[in-house]
Amino acid sequence: MHIFEIAMWRILVLLSILVASEVAATDNRLIGTWKSDHARSMKFIRTHTKLEDRQLNFLEQTLGHMVITFSETSVSATMPDIEVETSGKRQLLPGMTESSPYRVIGTDHNTVAILTENDQGEDWLIVYHFVGKDVFWVYFDGAGDGLVDLNIREYFSRVQ
C-alpha cells in the first residue's frame, strides 16, 4: 500500500467508528492509571514488524516506562528520564509530563477514539483498542524518530 492509501484506510476506519458509535462525554473504560506493558509490546513488535536492530534496541530500552492517567476530562502522560544506549553511546532522554483535555469522539465494543492536543497545541486523534477491561493498545506515533507507520503497538495495563 502507498502512504496515501494507508491514510485513506485510516480515515475510513475512523469514520466507520464515528458513524457506528454512541458518542459520550467520556468512556469509563479509560478512567484510571495505565502503565506501558514492556513485555506485551515487545512480543507484538518482534512477531509482527520488521525493524532494524537499532530500532528494536531503542524500543527495548524505552517501552514500559510511560504512565497515562485519564480523568473524566483530561489525560496526562508521564515518561521518566531514561538512559539509553545508541550507536555505542549512553545518553539521557529527558522525561516529560504532558496533560491536556480530551473528548471522546467515538466508541464501539472494543475501541475508544479521543480528540486531544499534542505538545504543539494541535488536534491529535488517538484510538485506544481494548483487549480486555484492563489492557489496551495504541499505535506508536514515534515522536519523529522514524518509527511512524511501522505497525508498532504499545500496550498498556491498568494499574489503578
**Residue 107: C-alpha distances to residues 15, 112, 148 (Å):** 11, 4, 24
Residue identified by cell 538512559 is: 83
Q: Over 90: is that where the pLDDT of 129 sits?
A: yes
- pTM across the whole model: 0.79
* Structural domain for 91, as ranges: 3-158
pLDDT in tens, 60-102: 999 999 999 999 999 999 999 999 998 889 999 999 999 999 9
Total number of domains in the chain: 1
Residue type, 149: D
Q: Over 70: is that where the pLDDT of 24 sits?
A: no
Burial 85-100, CB ≥16 within 10 A → b, else e:
eeeeeeeebeeeeeee
Residue identified by cell 506515533 is: 141
CATH number at residue 50: 2.40.128
